[in-house]
Chain A
Amino acid sequence: MRARLFRVILAGALSLAFASVAHSSDAGAKMDESMPGMRAMPAAHAIPGMSLYNLHGRRTTQDGSDVPLYVLHGKPVVAAMVYTHCRDVCPLIAECMQAVERRLPTSERDSVQFVLFSLDWTRDTPQQLRQFAQQHRLDPRHWTLFHGNEAAVRELAAALGVNFYRSANGDYQHAIAIYIFDSAGVVRSEQDDLQRVPPWALTQLKALPRH
């Protein structure tokens, strides 16, 4: 007991002593830049406090790249949480987002990212997501689909406020909404009426600063 007590006190002292050092070394931490499309992580304090890019979970794209959400920074995002085995509304969500993509002026299409986050941490493997993207003709230049493990899915759903229920047979019931993040990953608007999505998204995107 005594030895353990000492260890905890020591750990506490060390964590205090290194707090400032750790902070500055965090600032220099970088992502693996050998990965295509990866950008260096900024200092932790450079990410706005309300940004989704503070989330810890790592995710895998439909191409199999293991990435943090921060890869999305720099351009606005139109996003939704779906699962690919969903037969009813989820394909409709993707179609609504494609409608937004089509209606964007050609000159602006490359400056917006379209993202689907899977809720299904067991069945929606990167390969399954790639198939879904192909079936629905999601343009790989603009679309990213993310697989996450259970913790990553729960973390993002909690942050976005997407209520979902996973039944014992692995099916889902989930709230439907499409979100717009600004280029720093802060949610700027959400829309739960799919019919209104295209005009809403175009107005919202227009109001955001671009890079």
Chain B
Amino acid sequence: MRFFFVLAFALVCGGAADSGMVRLPAGSYTPFYARESTRISTPSSRTVTVGAFALDRFPVTNAQFLVFVASHPEWRKSRVKPIFADAHYLARWPGDLELRDGDAGRPVTNVSWFAAEAYCNAQHESLPTTDQWEYALADGDRARVSLRQQILSWYGRPNSQDLPAVQSATANGYGVRGLVGLVWEWTLDFNSMMSGQDLRASGARFCGGASIGAADASDYASFMRHAMRESLKAAYTTSNLGFRCASNSP
């Protein structure tokens, strides 16, 4: 009975999410780590072009994720295969189909990359690429300095026991909410950064010819985000890592 209640609640709360995407126009941004091919070098251009896409207005909530696991039993915490998620998968949930009071509207956390991508695929979407996510965050350079301060002050805040509800997050210029201030978020290609350790041994361990260098060493917030992504493995789950989905179709 409780399950039905929770599901019904989940639908009411999460119902907006189906249409809850924001269209972002095509454009470009300057990533923290600029990548260039060493062979086809265009040193003048550190900017990355991003095509038009749609991005979830909010991070995915517990309520939305509950609807997903209800219809995809292989993603319930009692059934998920360990290759797809570590032992802390959905650690906050008291049961397979149960949420803590107050969690429905909070971002879902303790989800692995595999689980996040499976959720997005079930909506016929996928995780945003790192470029798409960073492009959305850059917000057309609308408020660069204050954005950096906002990000740093969030990163510096200790993890609170309970995350804010996604609805509490403010919108950036595109109308995307909660990119800062709620949770870190998975990206489709979180594993596309070659770590410093790997780069030092690049001659021996990498194939192909892309080189990277920090575009702006003072952008400590971006550095932290990249370091965080580098540290992840696809099955990892943590209490401050969630996700949202993106769509490339018009």
Question: Which positions in A face B, CB cutoff 8 Å?
Answer: 1, 4-5, 8-9, 11-13, 15-16, 19, 22, 49-52, 54-55, 82-83, 86, 88-90, 93, 151, 154-155, 157-159, 161-169, 171-176, 192-194
Chain B residues, Cβ within 8 Å of A82: 207
Shortest 8 CB-CB distances between A and B: which pairs?
A158-B234, A89-B207, A49-B82, A173-B210, A165-B192, A173-B208, A163-B191, A12-B70
With A154-B189, A165-B35, A175-B194: A4-B11 Cβ-Cβ less than 8 Å = yes
Assembly CA distance A193 to B210 (angstroms): 20
Say whether B208 contacts A50, CB under 8 Å.
no
B198:A175 contact, CB within 8 angstroms:
yes
A50-B81, A163-B194 are known; give 15 further A-B pairs, CB within 8 A.
Answer: A5-B12, A8-B7, A52-B83, A88-B207, A154-B189, A155-B117, A159-B83, A159-B235, A164-B192, A165-B194, A171-B209, A173-B210, A175-B194, A176-B205, A176-B207
B11 A5 Cβ-Cβ under 8 A? yes
User: In the complex, what distance in Å separates the CA atom of A176 from the CA atom of B8?
Assistant: 48
Cα–Cα, bound, A22→B74 (Å): 11
Contacts of B192 in A (CB 8 A): 163-166
Measured between C-beta atoms, what is the minimum distance from B51 to chain A in Å?
A: 11
Contact with A along B61-74 (1 / 0, CB 8 A): 00000010011010
Give min CB distance, B17 to chain A, whole Å: 13
Question: B residues within 8 Å of A by Cβ?
Answer: 3-4, 7-8, 11-12, 15, 35, 37, 40, 49, 67, 70-71, 73, 81-84, 113-114, 117, 121, 126, 188-189, 191-195, 198, 204-210, 233-235
Give me 14 A-to-B residue pairs in the complex whose CB atoms sit less than 8 angstroms apart, sorted by A's number.
Answer: A11-B71, A12-B7, A16-B3, A19-B73, A50-B82, A51-B83, A54-B84, A158-B234, A162-B191, A165-B193, A169-B37, A173-B208, A192-B205, A194-B204
Q: Which residues of B contact A83 (CB under 8 A)?
A: 207
How many angstroms between the C-alpha atoms of A54 and B71 in the bound complex? 19
A77 → chain B closest CB, angstroms: 15
Residues on A with C-beta less than 8 A from B84 are 54
Taking the nearest CB of chain B, how far is it from the CB of A49, in angstroms?
4
Cβ contacts under 8 Å, A175 to chain B? 194, 198, 205-206
Say how far B176's CB is from chain A's closest CB, in angstroms.
Answer: 23
Q: How far is the CA of A82 from the CA of B206 in the complex (A)?
A: 11
Among B81, B113, B121, B208, the residue within 8 A (CB) of A171 is: B208
Residue on B with the closest CB to A13?
B4
A165 to B117, CA, bound (A): 18
Q: How far is the CA of A159 from the CA of B4 in the complex (A)?
A: 34
B4 touches A9 (CB 8 A): yes
| Assembled-state Cα–Cα distance A210/B22 (Å) | 54
Q: How far is the CB of B36 from chain A (nearest CB, A)?
A: 9
Q: Are B8 and A5 in contact (CB under 8 A)?
A: yes
Known: A86-B207, A157-B191, A163-B192. A15 touches B70 (CB 8 A): yes
Tell whether A167 pairs with B37 under 8 Å between CB atoms, given A8-B67, A12-B70, A16-B3.
yes
Residues of A within 8 A of B121 (CB): 151
A165 touches B189 (CB 8 A): yes
Given A51-B83, A171-B209, A171-B210, decide whether A164 and B191 contact each other with a Cβ distance below 8 A: yes
Q: Given the complex, which residues of A lie within 8 Å of B3, measured CB to CB?
A: 12, 16
